[in-house]
């Protein structure tokens, strides 16, 4: 008997919500917002499940939705966050979400370095290097050509290294 | 702790990043409950989201505009000896502002060219409409008030309350303008961001006093609507100049 959509989303949540939430959290640097966007991702998945044709893996499809809701938020939110902080005398509203998302000490710098990159660079590193998606899957999630994924990753990695050096992450080049 | 980020090691560390962070399990379960409650009451949820988006858009447009005015290097031009004042009145459409903001949206916020053009136009329209309304009802901001506001903003900048990205943005603006830090805070911010911010704040006060039953978003929306009718020709001309149909 085929599973109903609710059951499928329930199982998908159990399997992928952790990875999706961490991806979103790294993109937006806000724990609560990370949860809200994860919520939106699964609601959209439920609403649009009929359009999922099974050509891609369910995980890839879910990340594609997560990418869409996150990038939409990032585009709109950036000016808002900056001006709110600047004009309303608030503290930086976007620290690392460490209080709620427990991050081990040895990777905090790395987490911060990635967070400081611009969205496209950040995203391609997360998907390719952290989540382990293939070039093809990454191109599906981001709606980019495979070549663009390669080129962007190629540009992003040196910038990440630069960010890490700024944060005091020591760099040793192997001979 | 000494760390080695040679390519291979960096790749390995990146791979392990998810394992080395932990999402609070209570929050995770609570979110799941929220999602399935919303799925069960999906239609109500959809209506709420639509309302929230409309509201959010207006708020966003307003603050986006303020940000733009604060950091745009094109709004204000300083003469050789310091400041000559505003080149473009705040209540007029400004192509350079529009272009600068559209480019920023593309480069830094990931907008497509078309999206950036549309949004930058909406922001420019909102700015001009609100400032014209503020002038129409007699709001004036003195240099003294603007200086006080700029001073507060500078104190925040210097006290380290801003994020690195925000500080960087301000520092880059100073470089782009080709002025000193003193000129930036004492002249540029005073004449642009601070005055604009205060005018909008006073307009907001006016709204609270005179139309307490009306939501600010609706009030601002109405101002833009009226401006579109009253200044249709001016808007059409501006759209023509920026190549927006």
Nearest to B22 by CA among A101, A37, A163: A101
Instruction: Please give the Cα distance from B205 to B228 (Å, whole number).
Output: 23
Q: How many CB pairs under 8 A join A and B?
A: 157
According to the model, what pLDDT value does residue B165 have?
60
Q: How many CB atoms lie within 10 A of CB A79?
A: 25
The CATH number fitting domain A1-102, selected from 1.10.1740.10, 1.10.760.10, 1.10.287.610, 3.40.30.10: 1.10.1740.10
Give domain status of residue B18, yes or no.
no
Give domain status of residue B141, yes or no.
yes
DSSP letter for each residue of A101-157: EEE-GGGHHHHHHHHTS-HHHHHHHIIIIIS---HHHHHHHHT--HHHHHHHHHHHH
- B18, A131: Cβ pair inside 8 Å? yes
Q: For B224-233, what is each residue's pLDDT tens digit?
A: 889 999 999 9
**A32 vs A76: which has the higher pLDDT:** A32
Q: For B78-98, what is each residue's pLDDT tens digit?
A: 433 333 444 457 788 888 778
Instruction: Tell me which of A17, A87, A110 to substitute to probe the interface with B (most B C-beta atoms closer than 10 Å).
Output: A87
User: With pLDDT > 70 as the criterion, what percentage of chain A qualifies?
Assistant: 80
Within chain A, all domains assigned CATH 1.10.10.10 are found at: 103-175
Buried-exposed string B25-62: b where 16+ CB fall within 10 A, e elsewhere: eebbeebbeebbebbeeeeeeeeeeeeeeeeeebebbb
- B21, A169: Cβ pair inside 8 Å? no
Choose the weakest-confidence range: A13-17, A79-83, B105-109, B165-169. Answer: A79-83
Question: What CATH number is given for A103-175 in this structure?
Answer: 1.10.10.10
Confidence of residue B238 (pLDDT cuts 50, 70, 90): very high
Q: Stretch B121-138: mean pLDDT, rounded?
A: 88
Which residues of chain B make contact with A85, given a CB cutoff of 8 A?
161-163, 166
Q: Stretch A112-127: mean pLDDT, rounded?
A: 87
Nearest to B210 by CA among B221, B201, B198, B219: B219
Q: Stretch A130-152: mean pLDDT, rounded?
A: 93
Choose the weakest-confidence range: A89-103, A131-145, B143-157. Answer: A89-103
Q: For A34-87, what is each residue's pLDDT tens digit?
A: 898 999 999 999 989 988 877 788 999 999 999 999 887 776 654 444 334 333
Measured on CA atoms in the order B62, A30, B101, B194, is the torsion positive or negative?
positive
Structure token digits, residue A127: 């998907």
User: With pLDDT > 90 as the criterion, what percentage of chain A qualifies?
Assistant: 42
Instruction: Please give the Cα distance from B33 to B27 (Å, whole number).
Output: 10
According to the model, what pLDDT value does residue B77 have?
41
User: With pLDDT > 70 as the criterion, what percentage of chain B qualifies?
Assistant: 73
Give domain status of residue B167, yes or no.
yes
Contact B21, A118 (CB under 8 A): no
- B67, A86: Cβ pair inside 8 Å? yes
ipTM for the complex shown: 0.81
Which residues of chain A make contact with B23, given a CB cutoff of 8 A?
18, 21-22, 101
Assess whether pLDDT exceeds 70 at residue B107: yes
Within chain A, all domains assigned CATH 1.10.1740.10 are found at: 1-102
According to the model, what pLDDT value does residue B135 have?
92
- For residue A88, the surrounding DSSP H or E stretch is none
Structure token digits, residue A15: 């399997």
According to the model, what pLDDT value does residue A172 have?
44
Q: For B141-185, what is each residue's pLDDT tens digit?
A: 888 888 888 887 787 777 766 656 667 767 777 777 778 888 888
Separation in Å, CA B220 to CA A142, B57, B233: 35, 12, 21
Q: Taking all residues of chain B, what is their mean pLDDT, rounded to a whole number?
A: 74
* Phi–psi pair at B21, nearest 5 degrees: -130, 150
3-state secondary structure of A171: coil
> A103: which strand partners?
B21
- B166, A91: Cβ pair inside 8 Å? no
Closest chain B residue by Cα to residue A165: B5
Overall domain count for chain B: 1
- For residue A63, the surrounding DSSP H or E stretch is helix A58-87
Structure token digits, residue B245: 């149909």
Biggest CA–CA distance in chain A, Å, is: 59
**Residue from the list A38, A91, A130 with its beta carbon closest to the beta carbon of B18:** A130
- A103, B38: Cβ pair inside 8 Å? no
According to the model, what pLDDT value does residue B132 have?
92
According to the model, what pLDDT value does residue A175 have?
32
Question: Which domain, by its residues, includes B205?
Answer: 45-242
Structure token digits, residue A158: 């040196």
Contact A25, A71 (CB under 8 A): no
């Amino acid at each position: 008997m085929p599973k109903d959509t609710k059951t499928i989303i329930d199982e998908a949540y159990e399997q992928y919500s952790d990875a999706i939430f961490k991806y979103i959290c790294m993109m937006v640097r806000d724990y609560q917002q990370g949860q809200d966007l994860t919520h939106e991702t699964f609601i959209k998945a439920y609403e649009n499940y009929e359009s999922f044709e099974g050509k891609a893996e369910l995980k890839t499809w879910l990340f594609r939705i997560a990418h869409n809701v996150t990038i939409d938020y990032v585009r709109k939110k950036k000016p808002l966050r900056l001006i709110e902080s600047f004009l309303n005398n608030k503290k930086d509203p976007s620290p690392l979400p460490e209080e709620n998302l427990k991050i081990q000490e040895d990777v905090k710098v790395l987490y911060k370095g990635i967070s400081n990159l611009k969205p496209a660079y950040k995203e391609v590193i997360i998907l390719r290097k952290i989540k382990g998606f293939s070039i093809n899957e990454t191109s599906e999630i981001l709606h980019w050509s495979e070549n663009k994924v390669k080129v962007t990753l190629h540009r992003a990695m040196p910038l990440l290294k630069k960010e890490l050096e700024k944060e005091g992450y020591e760099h040793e080049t192997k001979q | 702790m000494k760390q080695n980020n040679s390519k291979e090691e960096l790749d390995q560390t990146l791979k392990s990043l998810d394992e080395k962070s932990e999402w609070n399990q209570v929050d995770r379960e609570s979110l799941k409950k929220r999602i399935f409650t919303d799925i069960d009451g999906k239609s109500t949820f959809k209506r709420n989201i639509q309302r929230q988006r409309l509201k959010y858009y207006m708020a966003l447009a307003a603050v986006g505009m303020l940000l733009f005015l604060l950091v745009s290097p094109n709004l204000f031009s300083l003469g050789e000896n310091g400041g000559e004042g505003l080149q473009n009145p705040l209540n007029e459409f400004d192509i350079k502002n529009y272009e600068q903001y559209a480019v920023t949206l593309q480069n830094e916020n990931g907008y497509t060219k078309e999206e950036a053009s549309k949004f930058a136009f909406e922001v420019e329209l909102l700015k001009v409409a609100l400032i014209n309304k503020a002038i129409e009802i007699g709001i004036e901001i003195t240099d003294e008030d603007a200086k006080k506001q700029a001073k507060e903003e500078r104190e925040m900048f210097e006290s380290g309350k801003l994020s690195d990205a925000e500080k960087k943005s301000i520092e880059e603006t100073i470089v782009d303008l080709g002025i000193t830090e003193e000129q930036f805070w004492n002249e540029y911010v005073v004449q642009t961001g601070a005055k604009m911010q205060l005018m909008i704040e006073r307009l907001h006060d006016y709204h609270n006093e005179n139309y307490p039953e009306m939501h600010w978003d609706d009030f601002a929306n109405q101002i833009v609507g009226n401006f579109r009718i009253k200044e249709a020709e001016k808007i059409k001309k501006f759209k023509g100049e920026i190549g927006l149909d």
